[in-house]
Structure formats: C-alpha cells, structure tokens
C-alpha cells in the first residue's frame, strides 16, 4: 500500500500542479476542451496510464468537459500515485490544448 503524503509534502507538490486543488480530500480538476473528441482522447490517454499505474480515477465526461478526482482509496487519502496520475492528466490535456 502507498504511503499517505504529509500536508507539507502535498502543499509543496501541488505547487507543481497548479490546475489541481484538494476538494473533499481528493485531488480535483475540471478540464474544458474543444469538443467531445478531444475530451475522449484525454480520457483514453489517461486510462492507459491508469492501467499502467494500477491506479484509477473517479471521473465523468459531459461533451467537452472532463471532471477528475484522484485519491488512493486503500491508503485512505492522497499518495504519490495520485500525483503521478495528475501529472499524466496534465500532459494529456496540454497535448490537446496546444
């Protein structure tokens, strides 16, 4: 099981992920893309990384909007896995937004 991040470590690392916030104990981000195809492409890329990391997001998609929440359920909070997947989400979004 992954170790929980301390509040200091989490704050330091969130500075590297400015589009993310902690909401209800989860890393949270909402992304608006150009259209459904771009949103689905982001979700597809993230799904591949989620499988590789064996760490899966809570997410939803409505047309061009993707809402993502990350938490390590079996650890009971936020861990390095959440930060790694958040960074992969950011990369996927950047490649679609240009």
Q: Are 86 and 20 in contact (CB under 8 A)?
A: yes
Residue 43: Cβ within 10 Å count? 20
> Residue 97: pLDDT band by 50, 70, 90 thresholds?
confident
| Partner residues linked to 59 by β-bridges | 68
pLDDT tens digits for range 66-82: 999 999 999 999 999 99
Model pTM greater than 0.95? no
pLDDT digits (tens, 9 = 90+) for 10-60: 999 999 999 999 999 999 999 999 999 999 999 999 999 999 999 999 999
Question: What CATH class has 7-97?
Answer: alpha beta
What pLDDT score was predicted for residue 96?
A: 86
| Domain residue ranges in the chain | 7-97
Q: 17-21, 85-89, 92-96: which range is least confident on average? A: 92-96
């Amino acid at each position: 099981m992954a170790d929980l991040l301390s509040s200091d470590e989490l704050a330091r690392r969130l500075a590297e992920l400015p589009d993310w916030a902690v909401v209800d104990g989860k890393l949270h981000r909402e992304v608006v893309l150009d259209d459904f195809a771009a949103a689905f492409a982001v979700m597809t890329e993230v799904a591949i990384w989620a499988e590789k990391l064996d760490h899966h997001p809570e997410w939803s998609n409505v047309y061009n909007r993707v809402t993502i929440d990350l938490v390590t359920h079996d650890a009971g909070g936020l861990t390095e896995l959440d930060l790694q997947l958040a960074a992969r989400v950011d990369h996927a979004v950047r490649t679609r937004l240009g």
